[in-house]
Amino acid sequence: MVDETNDDDLDLASLPDDELVEQMHDDLYDGLKEEIMEGTNILLGRGWSASKVLDEALVEGMRIVGIDFRDGILFVPEVLMSANAMKGGMGILRPLLAETGAQPIGKMIIGTVKGDIHDIGKNLVGMMMEGAGFEVIDLGIDNPVEAYLEAIEKHKPDILGMSALLTTTMPYMKVVIDTLVEKGMRDDYIVLVGGAPLNEEFGEAIGADAYCRDAAVAVETAQAKMAEKRAA
Ligand code: B1M
């Protein structure tokens, strides 16, 4: 998707919604952070909800990047630029998605597992959980089991969330859960897992409470599990 127009000349604000969204997909592809931030602000100014901007402009754009990364058309440095541009847009949406006057309804720690540095999806889950009224402690990327245990000890969360984007790192989630079992702590926490290569079967097989397909499902699942926990 080589953009042959001169981006300097392109007035994003003059584009109708559908063309602007398409342009944002191109800009994300090209790693243009400022343009992504501008486009995000324009759509919000036109009355788009934060979640609509997130889903239709940013997440969909990243999906396209993912396809060309898989097919060897884009490489790591380019995808890093796309990720950086995506984070620019997410930074604007974050406070809007997290806007809530309510008391925290539960506490979650979330981190990407050891060996894995993908964090966009995890960050999105954290943002949506905050938006739903949860307190979220983000452990970042590349977390060994010790980091999860330390954070559990320190923050005493209701929920432990783990993210993995690689088939080679997703088995590490089982290492964390098995360690909780060994220490007799497993039943004290709701364990939710997610990430593109996972599925429900995997979640069950490793002993998680649930696999969450996306951030919205993570919120719904967390709410349901918290309600069950409170009722019990
Ligand atoms: Co990576 N990468 N990457 N990468 N990368 C994938 C995952 C890949 C599928 C690309 C591909 O080939 N199509 C592929 C994995 C293949 C596999 O394992 N089978 C891959 C690879 C191979 C690699 C490297 C090994 C490449 C290399 O070095 N040769 C390398 C690994 C580095 C490492 O981690 N050790 C690598 C590196 C990178 C970058 C650094 C360049 C960059 C990451 C930047 C960053 O995150 N800061 C990157 C990116 C951006 C991607 C793709 C293109 C996009 C991921 C993303 O952000 N998606 C990705 C392709 C793809 O997934 N289509 C790819 C958008 C995000 C919103 O979705 O993360 O799925 P996602 O999160 C969703 C759900 O999964 C769920 O909710 C989120 C929001 O709805 N979810 C959770 C996620 N975590 C959750 C936790 C929960 C609940 C739900 O807890 C409760």
Cβ of residue 70 lying under 6 Å from some atom of ligand 1: yes
Buried/exposed 25-58: b ≥16 CB within 10 Å, e otherwise: bbbbbbbbbebbbbbbebbbeeebebbebbebbb
Say how many Å lie between the CA of residue 182 and the centre of ligand 1.
Answer: 30
Alpha-carbon distances of 215 from 165, 189, 201, rounded to whole Å:
14, 19, 18
Q: Is 59 in the pocket of ligand 1 (CB under 6 A)?
A: yes
Instruction: Give the amino acid at 154.
Output: K
CB 135 within 8 A of CB 225: no
**Distance from chain centroid for Cα 79:** 16
Phi, psi of 109 (to 5 degrees): -105, 145
Separation of CA 163 and ligand 1 centre (Å): 10
Per-residue confidence (pLDDT) for residue 156, from 0 to 100 = 96
Q: What predicted TM-score, i.e. pTM, was given to this entire model?
A: 0.87
- Per residue in 2-20, pLDDT (tens digit) is 454 445 578 999 999 999 9
Give the pLDDT score at 216: 81
Atom of ligand 1 nearest to the CA of 65: 53
pLDDT 10s digits, 30-80 = 999 999 999 999 999 999 999 899 889 998 998 898 889 889 999 989 988
Max CA distance (Å), the chain: 62
Q: Which residue among 84, 118, 168 is best mutated to probe the pocket of ligand 1, counting the most ligand atoms within 8 A of its Cβ?
A: 118
Nearest one of 95, 79, 83 to 58, comparing CA atoms: 83
What is the rounded average pLDDT of the residues 152-180? 98
- Percent of the chain surpassing pLDDT 70: 94
CA–centroid distance, 166 to ligand 1, in Å, is: 7
* Residue 157 Cβ < 6 Å to ligand 1: no
State if residue 165 touches ligand 1 by the CB under 6 angstroms criterion: yes
pLDDT in tens, 179-191: 999 999 999 999 9
Contact 198 CB / ligand 1 (< 6 Å): no
Ligand 1 within 6 A of CB of 69: yes
Whether 166 is in the pocket of ligand 1, judged by its Cβ within 6 Å, is yes
Average the pLDDT over 125-140 and give the result: 87
Find out whether 92 and 125 touch, Cβ atoms under 8 Å.
no
Answer whether residue 117 shows pLDDT above 90.
yes
In tens, the pLDDT along 93-115 reads 988 887 755 567 899 999 999 99
Q: What is the pLDDT of residue 103?
A: 65
Contact by Cβ (8 Å): 34, 70: no
Give the count of beta carbons closer than 10 Å to the beta carbon of residue 1.
11
Confidence label for 231 from pLDDT (cuts 50, 70 and 90): confident
